[in-house]
Amino acid sequence: MPPHKTGGLESGQAPYFVRSNGRGRPTTSKSAKAVQASPPGPARPPRLTGRGGVLLIVLCSFVGTMLANLLSAPAVPGIAFTLACLVTAVLVRPRDLLSLSVSPPIAYFLAVVGAESMLAAGNDGFTRTLLLGLASRLAEVAPWLFLGTALVLVVAVFRGLPGNLRTLVEELNGRG
């Protein structure tokens, strides 16, 4: 877990989101022009929220399932799911790692239910077609589900998941 900033505002200094002069447009001085002309610092990688990461997994899994049906390639949903898991584990905010680490199988299940519902729509025996499609899709993608979930957990451990677990335990015990 990254260290928290302990320094506060100095006396008479406004927070970053409040204009220092209180109202109106900020005035441009020589020092402000010099700051504007300086090259930007190193760009931070984009960050996803936990919900955004789960949504990305659902969307990639849905698209992969639809492509697998279109192309008759059974490995496509598994590859899409595994890549989405890896990308979200790297891009999600560190404080959202705990919620992301338990979500990939549920996210995949939701995507497959949606895709198989669309594929079974209009068939006689919708329920039977949906259940058979779900069972066969989940059976052929099971190894990919384990791989994607394991990747999320491994990456999350190195990005700070143990700290998130300690924080959760402290909050549950009333210490946090």
Helix/strand/coil for 92: strand
Condensed to tens digits (0 to 9), the pLDDT of residues 114-164 reads: 999 999 988 888 999 999 999 999 999 999 999 999 999 999 999 998 998
Does some domain include residue 16? Answer: no
Alpha carbon 45 to its chain centroid, in Å, reads 13
Which pLDDT does position 65 carry in this prediction? 94
Range(s) of the domain holding residue 135? 50-172
CB 48 within 8 Å of CB 94: no
Share of the chain above pLDDT 70, in %: 76
Residue 73 lies in a domain: yes
Within 13 Å, how many C-alpha atoms sit on residue 71's CB side? 11
| Inside any domain, residue 79 | yes
pLDDT of residue 8: 52
% of the chain residues with pLDDT over 90: 56
Is 86 within 8 Å of 107 (Cβ atoms)?
Answer: no
Q: Which of 65, 104, 74 is nearest to 86 (CA)?
A: 104
Number of domains, the chain:
1
